[in-house]
């Protein structure tokens, strides 16, 4: 398998995260797998956002006033999408000084599917984009920040199927419950678990009830033994978020199947063009 490079939140070096600008720029750089985050609005639209609310430093209110970093008064699950559209979330993040200031609302997942494909077609870019979708979910926040697992999974899976993207989507989450519910609805999709505590690996795989195609840990958790254990079960592993060149090279050397990175353009410069993933799983 070629070593896969995924653009984390679309890649964040040049444009604010989870925006159409970031996704299209990643495609231009040669990336063919982008990682992005999902929530649900009050009117049950599937929206692309890392956080469950509108806040700084990315977002400003409808009058153009920047929102505070700790502002949590605009929860996406409490707002219809028409209201969310009034907020600009294209402000640069101070951790990424080369980011351009853009005007950008948080997009719907359906819009990302159509707009990225249209951009790639018009730009004459080869291949197809694969979408690694993180369903943001926590047991303690059911019905508060997002729907309960069964409803949440149904909304996402139904959208993916209706869009005709079942062969170009992976669903992953730290919350095994929502992945299990999605698998019950559509077992032939590609699924993965995210991991931030190595002690949870075996229990989560057991609770999931099926063998996922991916288990993606934080890069600090990995070693050859973990990769060997997962590969023996037919599970691929793509650690996150790998941003330094020495870390990128190390992940390949110890047996990772790829990396998720904020700097895909840097990663691409380290690996040959033969490492470019093709569309599919």
Residues 52-79 pLDDT 10s: 999 999 999 999 999 999 888 899 999 9
How many Å apart are CA 260 and CA 131, to the nearest integer?
12
Per-residue pLDDT for 281 more than 60?
no
What pLDDT is recorded for position 279? 41
How many Å apart are CA 229 and CA 19, to the nearest integer?
36
**DSSP line for 198-252:** GGGHHHHHHHH-S--SEEEEBGGG--HHHHHHHHHTT-B---B---SHHHHHHHH
Per-residue pLDDT for 261 more than 50?
yes
Distance of CA 226 to the CA centre of its chain: 23
Per-residue pLDDT for 146 more than 50?
yes
How many Å apart are CA 172 and CA 180, to the nearest integer?
10
CATH of region 4-53+107-275 = 3.20.20.190
pLDDT, average across residues 3-27: 98
CA distances from 56 to 67, 124, 137 (A): 5, 35, 21
Q: If you ran DSSP here, which 8-state letter would residue 197 be given?
A: -
Burial label for 169, CB within 10 Å (0-12, 13-18, 19+), is buried
How many Å apart are CA 119 and CA 24, to the nearest integer?
7
pLDDT, average across residues 250-275: 89
Does residue 220 contact residue 256 with C-beta atoms inside 8 Å? no
User: Residues of the chain with pLDDT > 90: what percent?
Assistant: 94
Residues in CB range of 103: below 8 A, 6 or more apart: 88, 90
What pLDDT is recorded for position 276? 44
Per-residue pLDDT for 274 more than 70?
no
pLDDT, average across residues 179-207: 98
What pLDDT is recorded for position 273? 46
What pLDDT is recorded for position 278? 42
What pLDDT is recorded for position 275? 42
Per-residue pLDDT for 226 more than 50?
yes
Phi, psi dihedrals of residue 37, rounded to the nearest 5°: -115, 145
What pLDDT is recorded for position 1? 62
User: Residues of the chain with pLDDT > 70: what percent?
Assistant: 96
Per-residue pLDDT for 253 more than 70?
yes
Domain map (residue ranges) of the chain: 4-53+107-275
Does residue 277 contact residue 259 with C-beta atoms inside 8 Å? no
Per-residue pLDDT for 255 more than 50?
yes
Does residue 178 contact residue 135 with C-beta atoms inside 8 Å? yes
């Amino acid at each position: 398998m070629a070593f896969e490079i995924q653009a984390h939140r679309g890649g964040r070096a040049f444009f604010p995260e989870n925006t159409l600008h970031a996704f299209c720029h990643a495609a231009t750089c040669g990336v063919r797998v982008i990682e992005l985050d999902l929530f649900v609005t009050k009117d049950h639209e599937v929206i692309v956002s890392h956080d469950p609310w509108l806040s700084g430093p990315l977002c400003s209110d409808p009058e153009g006033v920047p929102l505070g970093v700790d502002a949590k008064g605009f929860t996406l699950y409490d707002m219809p999408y028409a209201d969310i559209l009034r907020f600009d979330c294209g402000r640069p993040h101070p951790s990424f000084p080369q980011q351009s200031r853009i005007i950008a609302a948080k997009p719907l997942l359906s819009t990302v599917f159509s707009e990225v494909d249209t951009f790639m077609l018009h730009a004459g870019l080869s291949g197809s984009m694969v979408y690694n979708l993180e369903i943001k979910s926590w047991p303690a926040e059911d019905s508060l920040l997002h729907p309960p697992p069964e409803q949440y999974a149904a909304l996402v899976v139904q959208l993916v199927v209706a869009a005709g993207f079942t062969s170009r989507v992976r669903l992953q989450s730290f919350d095994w419950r929502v992945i299990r519910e999605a698998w019950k609805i559509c077992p032939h999709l590609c699924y993965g678990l995210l991991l931030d505590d190595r002690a949870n690996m075996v229990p989560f795989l057991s609770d999931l009830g099926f063998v996922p195609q991916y288990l993606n840990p934080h890069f600090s958790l990995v070693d050859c033994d973990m990769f060997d254990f997962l590969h023996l079960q037919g599970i691929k592993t793509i650690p996150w978020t790998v941003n330094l060149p020495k870390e990128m090279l190390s992940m390949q050397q110890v047996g990772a199947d790829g990396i998720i990175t904020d700097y895909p353009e840097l990663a691409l410069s380290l690996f040959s063009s033969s490492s470019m993933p093709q569309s599919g799983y």
